[in-house]
Amino acid sequence: MAAASTMNAQETTDNGYTAIPAPENDNAIMFSISPNGRYVGGYTYVDNLFYMYDTKEKTTKSFGEVSEDNSADLRSISNEGKAVGVFGSGSDTYGYVCNFADGTSKTIEAGMTKGITSDGTFMTGAKIDESGAYWNAVYFDGENTVALPEPSTKWAGWKSTDPDDPEVVFGSSADFVSADKSVIAGSIIDPMSTYPAVVWRQNRDGKTYSVDFISRNYFCCNPDYMGTDANNYAMFEPMGLSENGKWLSLTVAIYTPDGWGATYGVGRYNLETDKLEQYLYDDDSNTECYASGIANDGTLVGWKGGFNEEQGIIWKAGAEAPQLLSEAYPGVPEFKEFDTILGHKTCAISSDGRYIVGYGYYDRIEGETETAGYESYVFDTTAPGATTAIEAAPAISKETISKAAAARYDMSGKRVGKNFKGLSIQRLQTGKTVKTLNK
């Protein structure tokens, strides 16, 4: 059953930014959006619950059981608010389906659920064997779980690391599906676990699928030839599929000539023309970069930077290079705030490219009250004030944040306020804990 509530989201201003309300004493990490932009989904940071927000009715619902050991990973949402995801850990991982409209939910023991069509009638994912080590891409047809074909190791071009079975296939996962279910996208699990992209295209019978290993001409599958093989991509991982089935967003990385480093970037692959468009962050810092959602016109969102230093990006259709979201939309001060504190991830985009979902870390002081945590948002890119630069409040330095308390507790473990008198334990933003005495 779902726990529902009507919560007051920050009213959308003329800059298009709306903060998504989080449960009390928790943070909402939102990274999925329905193709029509109405429903947003993710999970709760503390309780590990599936969490959804209806942007029209301004209501939230949580699904699942509170757990400290398992993770809730909501992957995809239909236009009517039916969501699929994965819950659990290791071999005890299973699919999860929840419905915002009626508050119902169910588990799919047959496998993990990852993708859903915009009308909510067709799901994709993976089935895990008893060991938890092998996955097979599947789609869910009513009560039936149907396996999708996998390329052989020989055809894929990599060498098996299993001496007893040189033709072993390491597994596959079907992560995304187009609205008409004619295209399913996912990955093959390779010897180096970098998940190169694969596509399944529907056959003429409208029921079966043929596999197309689109990574074959890019991905370096043999670790003995890193940096020297003509196919020198260290990563060619699918991160999103447009609703119309035309575009696949990719996280890419190309080996440096010595084979010891890599240049990271984002890519969009046109599945109609089999053409790759990519942008590499070629700098001295070995910048990491990750793609996420992609719209029907090819507009891609994602983030660049390492842990706690992520900055949200958008690569608009037809543009030569991505931009920081904070630079593309200077009228939203929160984007700059997230970029300069402890990370900002731009995670999903509606099929028409209008709405964007993401989250970032904030640390704000209002009067004598300091608040910090993750804030998720939905952003309307067409808002009139989004591109009008405004003067932002001075950013708090990372050095200051590292010394600031994320939370305070008394000696019994109960959370207390900043004005608590006596001996308390402070958990800093870095994760370190210190004892302090306030008289």
Burial group, residue 110, by CB count within 10 angstroms (0-12, 13-18, 19+): middle
Across the range 109-133, mean pLDDT stands at 88
| Domain 2-403 class, CATH top level | mainly beta
Q: Round to whole Å and give the CA distance between 69 and 92.
A: 11
Q: Is the pLDDT of residue 420 over 70?
A: no
State the pLDDT at residue 229: 56
pLDDT tens, position by position, 206-229: 999 999 989 888 887 665 655 555
333 backbone dihedrals φ, ψ, rounded to 5°: -65, -25
State the pLDDT at residue 13: 64
- Report which residue type is found at 412: S
pLDDT tens, position by position, 140-190: 987 789 999 988 766 666 655 555 665 555 689 999 999 999 999 999 876
State the pLDDT at residue 256: 78
According to the per-residue pLDDT averaged within each range, which of 41-50, 58-67, 322-331 is highest? Answer: 322-331
Q: Round to whole Å and give the CA distance between 214 and 254.
A: 16
Across the range 413-423, mean pLDDT stands at 50
CB neighbours of residue 374 within 10 Å: 19
Q: Are strands 144-147 and 135-141 parallel, antiparallel or unpaired?
A: antiparallel
Average pLDDT, the chain: 83
pLDDT tens, position by position, 361-383: 998 887 777 788 899 999 999 99
State the pLDDT at residue 411: 44
Across the range 322-351, mean pLDDT stands at 95
Higher pLDDT, 276 or 390: 276
Work out the pLDDT band at 281, boundaries 50, 70, 90: confident
Across the range 194-211, mean pLDDT stands at 94
pLDDT tens, position by position, 57-76: 999 999 988 877 778 899 99
Burial group, residue 65, by CB count within 10 angstroms (0-12, 13-18, 19+): exposed
State the pLDDT at residue 439: 38
Go through 212-247 and write b for each residue having 16 or more CB atoms within 10 A of its CB, e for each that does not.
bbbbbebbbbeeeebbebebbbbbbbbbbbbbbbbb
| Domain limits, CATH 2.130.10.10, in the chain | 2-403
CB neighbours of residue 68 within 10 Å: 7
Cβ–Cβ < 8 Å for 16, 385: yes
In this prediction the pTM is 0.85
State the pLDDT at residue 406: 54
Q: Round to whole Å and give the CA distance between 196 and 189.
A: 7
- Report which residue type is found at 250: L
pLDDT tens, position by position, 232-241: 888 899 999 9
Q: Is the pLDDT of residue 334 over 50?
A: yes
Higher pLDDT, 339 or 71: 339
- Report which residue type is found at 154: K
Q: Is the pLDDT of residue 408 over 80?
A: no
- The H-or-E segment that residue 337 falls in is helix 333-340
Residue with tokens 């000539």: 257
β-partners of residue 54 are 39, 59
Q: Is the pLDDT of residue 427 over 60?
A: no
State the pLDDT at residue 166: 57
